[in-house]
Structure 1
């Protein structure tokens, strides 16, 4: 994936309630530096807000402490805080994802990359025309082949999603990382029936329908944790939930 060298930081970021709470914590300045470094690392990885060494190796706490040049204890405190506040998600496979990554994504940078790529392709085609002396024929054929390849690629991507998964996807309230969710869905289907998954998903969607998107689980997390088999009350918490968050009443 092409590298993006900028991310967006709001001039009002220090007015955010979560940042204000962090500023009253021990090691507040270091924790905020770690937050900015995580955003920069996510931009460098350029994978929809995920942060990892490569697609098979997540960053451990120790690796982050080394890369960010910060004490391991402070890094762990920062990660726990960010996860509690819904600023990041740490998946079961230890991959870290920035919540609401679209707020920080450098759209201008992506646009520039696409425009530069378009210009390179255009220059290449112009050189090919001058070499062959064929002003229209080869270019038309190349464009036609490219369009056909794009259609085939789109069809192939559409075909990887089963009807069962599309039923789940249509009702899940937070649609991010569809391909990763498909993998988790296949694993869930090995141990549970489609009816169980869809029924639990529908109940969860009903429960969180008025919840801010950033506080709704990623579909991968929902599936990996078998959250669809939890009991849900309309407008309430999942039955048997042991989670306690000292700051939950603030958000």
Structure 2
């Protein structure tokens, strides 16, 4: 997924019953500011709604108090309030996640607009190609700006920030790969659904479906995703299993490991290299009479 630098705040957010209840509390202003800071932190982390300090470390309440520049007791009160009203959720490792994250970050809407823009660009290029075949060649210094025609006025459902246009332009070339992944993901989705509900004891829900779509759109290979989670479960020292798995997947992607086959090849090569180094070391020690 592309880096996203915006979140959505609805103009009627203060009409929400939960916000009205918060406004009745003594520290109402501080709690609402902390809520907005949590949303911004989740958007900055771009980790499906989780509040992260780094790629592999979830932000705890003490760190939030420092980073948000608010008293620790106020932050604790805010977190307890958000949990009570179902605005956040916490996993076994106390990692905090914004519930219904798609309400604040319309990733599906952004992808839909990207797909429409990609189709508009394809039709535009095809039309220009047909025109070039039917008309004299244009002078070399004549250029057409495809990006101008690709700008769209978003509907109410997908209207976000003007920064969305920048994200669309950067990611148009990736649309084909994303569409192929989504179009072929039924078997992969079922495999991940089974793993999450049995191995991780996650409940079948709309949120689980969104999480599975996120993993598949970002890391593509269901077997690779499952392997990362299995390794996080196997390491008893890891408290925040899902964050550990996400960090592992990010590292693999950074190293160019995008499938379970590539992972097996990479680790086989590393094992062979380590064994070769050990053999050389043993031979060297033998020559020295050790």
TM-score under structure 1 length normalisation: 0.52
Residue 95 of structure 1, CA deviation: 1.6
Which residue is 2:53 aligned to?
Answer: 53
Residue 38 of structure 1, CA deviation: 0.6
Q: Which whole-Å deviations, capped at 9, do the CAs of 1:84-113 have from their partners, x for residues lacking one?
A: 110001111222111111111154458535
Partner Cα distance (1:17, 1:82) in 2: 13
Which residue is 1:231 aligned to?
Answer: none
The answer to whether the 8 Å contact 2:4/2:167 transfers is no
1:8 partner SS: coil
> Structure 2 vs 1, CA of residues 26 and 184 (structure 1 numbering), >3 Å: closer, same or farther?
farther
Q: Which whole-Å deviations, capped at 9, do the CAs of 1:61-105 have from their partners, x for residues lacking one?
A: 111011110000000100011011100011112221111111111
1:53 partner SS: coil
Partner Cα distance (2:91, 2:164) in 1: 30
1:2 partner SS: coil
Which residue is 2:191 aligned to?
Answer: 161
The answer to whether the 8 Å contact 1:2/1:113 transfers is no
Aligned residues: 161
> Structure 2 vs 1, CA of residues 159 and 30 (structure 1 numbering), >3 Å: closer, same or farther?
closer
> Structure 2 vs 1, CA of residues 74 and 183 (structure 1 numbering), >3 Å: closer, same or farther?
farther
Which residue is 2:204 aligned to?
Answer: 172
Residue 182 of structure 1, CA deviation: 5.6
Matched, 1:44 2:44: yes
Gaps of 5+ in 2: 111-159, 217-224, 235-241, 243-290
Q: Which range is displaced more, 92-101 or 102-111?
A: 102-111
State the superposition RMSD in angstroms: 4.0
Residue 163 of structure 1, CA deviation: 8.6
The answer to whether the 8 Å contact 1:43/1:49 transfers is yes
> Structure 2 vs 1, CA of residues 177 and 184 (structure 1 numbering), >3 Å: closer, same or farther?
farther
Partner Cα distance (2:40, 2:193) in 1: 38
Which residue is 1:23 aligned to?
Answer: 23
> Structure 2 vs 1, CA of residues 7 and 159 (structure 1 numbering), >3 Å: closer, same or farther?
closer
Partner Cα distance (1:163, 1:17) in 2: 33
Gaps of 5+ in 1: 123-145, 191-219, 221-251
> Structure 2 vs 1, CA of residues 34 and 165 (structure 1 numbering), >3 Å: closer, same or farther?
same
Which residue is 1:117 aligned to?
Answer: 170
TM-score under structure 2 length normalisation: 0.46
The answer to whether the 8 Å contact 2:43/2:49 transfers is yes
Give the alignment of 1:1-251 within 5 angstroms.
Answer: 2-106=2-106, 107=110, 108=160, 111-118=164-171, 158=188, 161=191, 164-165=194-195, 172-174=204-206, 175=208, 176-178=210-212
Q: Which of 1 and 2 has higher RCO (CA within 8 Å, sep 6+)?
A: 2
Partner Cα distance (1:117, 1:185) in 2: 30
